[in-house]
Structure 1
Amino acid sequence: MSMATKLVNTAEVASSDAQTLVADMRKAISTMKSLAVDFERDGKSDKVKKLEEMVLEMVASYEDCAAMAQAIKAVPGVYQPSDQPTDFKTLIEVEVSKIKGASSASQQNHPLFRQFRETVWNVHHAGQPMPGEEQEDIVMTSTQMSILNVTCPLTGKPVIELIDPVRCVDCKHIYEKDPVMQYIRTKKPPQCPIAGCPRVLERGKVICDPLLRIEIEELRSSETGAPNATNIDDLTDLIDDDDE
């Protein structure tokens, strides 16, 4: 196995581990959002405020971890063989800086934080613009931006009803697994079935990534109004401890 192949494989494993942590953070933010809705309904504004502060901190960590996952995956592409030992730590730090530098959004305007604030606001002000926003402003939530197609182009089923959802690494479109794998085997070339998408699907690049099921669950909850939180009792205890 060549050095380049080993590096790619190692980067894939390390990046996957980081992405799993990102997914766990996303779940935690979703839990906080559901809990904040309950507190807002009960008029416990002080607890909502504490949750908002916690979410803001979590978003910062989320961004750091997401940038790290992306940077690790990029390292094989920038690695240059040399007689001298390679400083991979510096390579990763440089890539992280590039990724963060390309993102100009502040934490206050981060889609996940905006989604949290909008959800809480809608408890008592559904249909009304948030303070500082015009009625005609269209705010894309993080879930809406992440889920590019709300139905599988091969089965016509809504993504929230897919049994085994997968997403293309390249174009980010979502499909039911068995039909899309059959499509890849039989269609030559297997161009993405979403109208206008030029990407050609590859078996190894159509996967259930760590965030996919979380994002689908968030979309399902936003459409049904049902909470998708878990471990709410633990968070409630944490907030109550802060009050003491």
Structure 2
Amino acid sequence: MDTLVTTHELAEQLGTPGLHVLDATWFGTLPGADARDAAAEFAAGHIPGAAYLDLGRLGQTAAEGEIPGIARHLGALGIDDAATIVLYDDSPFHTAARAWWLLRRFGVTASLLDGGIAKWRAEGRPLQAGEGAQHNEIRHVTFDGSRMRTKADMLENIDSAAEQVLDARSAPRFDGTEQDPRGLPTGHIPGSFNLPYNKLFTADGTWKRGDALRAAFEESGIDLDRPIVTTCGSGVTAAVLAFGLHLLGRDSALYDGSWTEWASDPRTPKATVTL
């Protein structure tokens, strides 16, 4: 199955043995964010046969480095070693990309539904209510930290410039002209580039492809032929950029602590844009 799956392709393959569709919707914890309950919205209506992937819990388990915990979490969703996984979301943060990145760290390959459940609904496709079944499968996972970057790595990179740093936050937050929603210092990691994650999508919420996607990255100042590490506010939308790069055949790393960790440390340098 391709990395990006259309709603038409998924509709044709629903019910295929071994196909697992996971709802990876997450709404974040930013001050002032909409108080939406992803699990409740899943129970109210989801793609038929889908299971709810608790992205917050998955991320916490991954942060703790619990390989058995990741295996149990996936096994409870019925995902064994032979599973084909398609992820979707209904979040403004396009959190299916975050789920894709987390799973990839543990050797689990997944695809994304292009346009998510919003496109599925807009096309009048069927929905199913209910919380989804629990299973007791066994999923083997292995940890790969090669695509992760720490604060220490990012500090060293300021001097070495070995990797280009690409920030997924909005331009005002990157520039330092807008207050940080968590009350942290404003600005960005010195030397980094800015590509707001929403610039990777078309008007109907589907991903840009080919030349249009490539242009979005190049217009940010990034050289696609050089190493790239993505960052954002808390590591979520940085995964959107990572997936976009993946669609272009480019591998990238991700600074999971992102601006929340960086700005919380008074010793780290912060840059702003002078207008």
Q: Structure 2 length as normaliser, TM-score?
A: 0.28
Q: Looking at CA atoms only, which structure, 1 or 2, has the larger radius of gyration? A: 1
Q: If the length of structure 1 is used for normalisation, what is the TM-score? A: 0.30
